[in-house]
């Protein structure tokens, strides 16, 4: 296996990661500052990034403030970095300031199977037992029986019940269909608090996986009261072979070193950007292999099966609270079927792939695929963060 350190990394700039209307946006970043050997909460103002840690020591604290957008735009700050310099820093180098995932104490949750097209691919994974060689045959069978049966169905509706009866009669009912069109969505914990990586960092794929893909998603940022305060982009890496063997392997398939990327920034809700904007987002994907291979795809939030607030309500409420808030991956329409390594096997990553997930209102999240076992170790946990902030006198 080639060393992750030997893989080339993309060259990023402020223009390549900022939203197209960045001048009107309230953007939150996190920066690793080698002066403190720890993270700083920061505001993106043009091509500069301003340290706001003295105002809000964690992003979680900032999200609790009703005036968060005004703080990001106007509050006096400390150290100022050039965004281009942060993006040029080598990934994971503690001796150079660089961007981190823009969330910290929030629990990282994810909703799965929220789009009909990707729902059928989950059924295919299950039917093949995670064997990519069987994918084309099973895909044809599922397509023949299901066809457009699931198009436009509202989960939990009488039409969904009829579709379930049809699929049961054909022997095609699945646990993925249950959460895709049944009354309750799938919501799971994607990754531990503080373990996500940001734009420019490596993203990890478990070395044992031979069938996997990126999952470009809109990510909601929710405070401790269940209010959606903003949005960002995420890559909920999918190991199709491992989860396809058994849904009980979801933890092994989803939660590995560097397997969750979030960023580049949180865009706070304001008069120009809100929930309706998120509901209409188009999210683009591009994968560039070292051999010249290119995969393009997209996911439209307009095609989601459940409203984003329904997903928030399934996560937060009388049944479950989050004192430090949470972020919620909302699922993806993207499920690549294009063959890459073998006929009928569909897409899978190769190490060194550069994955770019972008949306005009949120910017671009860019990561390089490496084995999880070779990604930079996750070292900053909650205890280390609290000690670091206490030493800096900002708690």
Give the tens place of pLDDT for each residue, 111-161: 987 876 666 676 777 777 778 777 677 767 766 666 666 666 678 788 777
Highest mean pLDDT among 132-146, 165-179, 200-214: 200-214
Tokens 């996911």 correspond to 299
Token pair for residue 18? 């900022």
Place of tokens 């063959």: 339
Rg (CA), the chain: 21
Task: Please provide the size of the chain in residues.
Answer: 395
Segment 2-38, tens digit of pLDDT:
677 677 788 999 999 999 999 999 999 999 999 999 9
* Residue that wins the pLDDT comparison between 306 and 41: 41
Average pLDDT on 49-56 reads 98
Of all residues in the chain, the percent with pLDDT exceeding 90 is 69
Angle at the Cα of 50 (from 20 to 192), degrees rounded to 5? 80
Which of the four pLDDT bands, split at 50, 70 and 90, describes residue 393? Answer: very high
């Amino acid at each position: 296996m080639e060393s992750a350190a030997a893989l080339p990394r993309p060259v990023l700039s402020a223009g390549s990661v900022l939203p197209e209307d960045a001048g009107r946006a309230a953007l939150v970043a996190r920066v690793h500052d080698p002066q403190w050997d720890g993270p700083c909460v920061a505001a993106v103002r043009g091509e500069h990034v301003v340290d706001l840690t003295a105002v809000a020591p964690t992003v979680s604290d900032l999200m609790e403030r009703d005036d968060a957008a005004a703080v990001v735009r106007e509050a006096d700050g400390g150290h100022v970095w050039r965004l281009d310099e942060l993006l040029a820093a080598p990934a994971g180098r503690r001796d150079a300031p660089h961007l981190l995932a823009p969330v910290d104490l929030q629990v990282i949750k994810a909703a799965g199977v929220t789009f009909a097209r990707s729902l059928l691919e989950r059924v295919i994974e299950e039917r093949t037992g995670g064997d990519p060689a069987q994918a084309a045959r099973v895909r044809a069978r599922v397509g023949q029986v299901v066809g457009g049966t699931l198009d436009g169905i509202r989960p939990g509706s009488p039409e969904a019940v009829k579709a379930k009866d049809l699929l049961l009669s054909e022997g095609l009912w699945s646990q993925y269909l249950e959460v895709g069109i049944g009354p309750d969505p799938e919501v799971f914990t994607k990754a531990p608090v503080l373990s996500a990586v940001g734009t420019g960092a490596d993203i990890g794929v478990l070395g044992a996986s031979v069938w996997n893909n990126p999952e470009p998603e809109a990510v909601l940022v929710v405070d401790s009261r269940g209010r959606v305060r903003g949005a960002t982009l995420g890559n909920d890496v999918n190991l199709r072979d491992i989860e396809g063997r058994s849904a009980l392997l979801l933890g092994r398939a989803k939660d590995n070193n560097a397997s969750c990327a979030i960023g580049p920034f949180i865009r706070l809700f304001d008069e120009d950007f809100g929930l309706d904007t998120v509901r209409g987002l188009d999210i683009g994907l591009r994968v560039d292999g070292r051999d010249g291979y290119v995969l393009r795809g997209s996911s439209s939030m307009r095609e989601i099966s459940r409203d984003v607030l329904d997903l928030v309500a399934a996560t937060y409420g009388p049944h479950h609270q989050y004192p430090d808030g949470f972020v919620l991956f909302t699922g993806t329409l993207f499920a690549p079927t294009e063959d890459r390594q073998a006929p009928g096997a569909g897409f899978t990553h190769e190490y060194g792939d550069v994955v770019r997930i972008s949306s005009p209102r949120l910017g671009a999240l860019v990561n390089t695929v490496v084995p999880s076992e070779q990604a930079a170790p996750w070292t900053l946990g909650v205890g280390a963060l609290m000690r670091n902030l206490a030493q800096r006198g900002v708690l």
